[in-house]
Structure 1
């Protein structure tokens, strides 16, 4: 889908550019594989981005530099992020860009 194309474009651009690209992924917490590796305050831990073929959960995309995880209490279901993403995209689209 579109996300795959954007990811491929970012990967291609990152390999040609020396500057760091900030990419923010928005995902539902309830579908994230190895959630326990992401819990903690001021803790740095490795996160395994290899997916488990028998799991119904998914790993976070390693091409993102940051993540916003939406939690509505469900497990294994997509959709918790939709309303948050819509509001965030609307807010960002209304911002003025200073070009000077």
Structure 2
């Protein structure tokens, strides 16, 4: 929900013309989608721990640790990008 609100704000506000006109603008929705998919994978991995046989618990914990690091790295990148975008000065016409 927050991601779609952010993207809608970028598409409508004249302050963000510089971003919409940038060649890398198409990468922003891809970054949001990637972050959401990684968080979804983390959620699925976390939920699957309930069903893991105790003999494989070390492997499952390592996989969950990887998913956690992978997800939070994408989330950190998304937060960093959003913070930098909102820090842009107002557009002067």
After TM superposition, the score normalised by the length of structure 2 is: 0.30
Higher-Rg member (1/2): 2
After TM superposition, the score normalised by the length of structure 1 is: 0.29
**As a proportion of its length, which structure holds more helix?**
2
**As a proportion of its length, which structure holds more strand?**
1
